[in-house]
Structure 1
């Protein structure tokens, strides 16, 4: 395939781009480098376009592609300015869809489990309840709705992938938006006790980035008509206490959790992906549980892989 990866200098985008390239595909990256980092592209040998998806002329530089992986977006959930978030995420995506529709090419894009918010039924099913609790999550829901319209109007394939809590190599640049696993690792590496909300019983579906990349490529290869949406996660809910215990074992550390009050009244106490649709429709099968993923991630950060 001849692929365009928007946001290809970012965390998931760079992992996706280099994996596609290693499989023999022709890959072009489009990134504005507002948050992505050049170090993520040291192992990438393809074309890199410096530009923004909100600029049509930047997209026009990507010639002869037959599929778009749209990973570009503002992912910082603490941003509360609706105009900034929706202007970048929704309007940028609209440009991508216009580009794809004019060429009748397939689009696979990153949505988010944040769409579910505090939905009552867990595990989350794709057709379940949507209660987005911040503008980032709403922007992803709006993107899905726009994709459905475009797919129907222009008869193109568009697949939305609701990523759960992704962690893994190349997320170091994200700062406060990086994964919990990465932040706790840094705390423990510096000799500090890992700080988690009282009393560590909250649970998240933590999914290793290699599983996310595999699922995204499977979506690209699928022959699904029109628009569809799939969850991509690990299918396991891991407590914060379990994450600390896993890091203790992987790092051979005796540092104990430092519990503090949760300042967020609308916090999701549990997330868990129902993967039955992705397994059946895409052949998706996650390979990394929390112990295997964390161990590999730590080895990567410490230069052992």
Structure 2
């Protein structure tokens, strides 16, 4: 359809295609999907490449996205909103054991929107969309507790997904792509917090 309409197509790929590849993850290197979802995203990228000479096709490999509009996802929403609501409910934040050594590239939704806009004028290809910096799940809880002025003890539980888990993701950003992230994890959480509080009051604490 994109070819028939001579339309630009920007589609969602995923950092999951890298599996447990060494960080930073680079497009085209050590792609090793560990589940059907990740494999489907990689196959989408492979298929798109076959049509680069016929259409404008850009795949964006989102890393761990968080921000407004995700609450409907429930248990698959970001750990930022899930940890925040645990803390606001007075519950001890529940993390996997070793969470201070589990790294993710958390990218704020406003940066993702900017990436989509930049993709309209980008060359055909697949690009990472992340912050370019890896942070831990423990960092999230510590930032939230600072912002919410709480000091709850963390509860550490066994990770049931160890065999399929990504323990370190960090996007290598392509300098040829005009996208440049603006939000650090601290800045993104602070900007997101009013919406998190609204959700807790209007959707959770009812």
With structure 1 as the length reference, what TM-score do the two structures score?
A: 0.62
Superposed displacement of residue 248, structure 1: 0.5
Out of 162, 166, 190, the residue aligned to residue 268 of structure 1 is: 166
Superposed displacement of residue 265, structure 1: 2.6
Q: 2:201 corresponds to which residue?
A: none
With structure 2 as the length reference, what TM-score do the two structures score?
A: 0.91
Q: Deviations over 1:34-54 (max 9, x none)?
A: xxxxxxxxxxxxxxxxxxxxx
Q: 1:66 corresponds to which residue?
A: none
Q: 1:126 corresponds to which residue?
A: 27
Looking at structure 2, the residues matched to 238 and 117 of structure 1 have their Cα atoms a distance apart, in angstroms, of 17
Superposed displacement of residue 150, structure 1: 2.6
Q: Deviations over 1:179-215 (max 9, x none)?
A: 1111111111111111111022211000000001101
1:117 partnered with 2:12: no
Q: CA RMSD in A?
A: 1.2
Out of 241, 246, 257, the residue aligned to residue 154 of structure 2 is: 257
Query: Runs ≥4 in structure 1, deviation > 4 angstroms?
Result: none
Q: 1:164 corresponds to which residue?
A: 63
Out of 275, 281, 284, the residue aligned to residue 179 of structure 2 is: 284
Superposed displacement of residue 240, structure 1: 1.3
SS of match in other structure, 2:90: coil
Looking at structure 2, the residues matched to 103 and 284 of structure 1 have their Cα atoms a distance apart, in angstroms, of 26
SS of match in other structure, 2:128: strand
Q: Deviations over 1:113-147 (max 9, x none)?
A: 0000111x210011211111111111111111111
Aligned residues: 196
Q: 2:82 corresponds to which residue?
A: 183
Q: Deviations over 1:218-245 (max 9, x none)?
A: 01123x2xx3111010011111111110
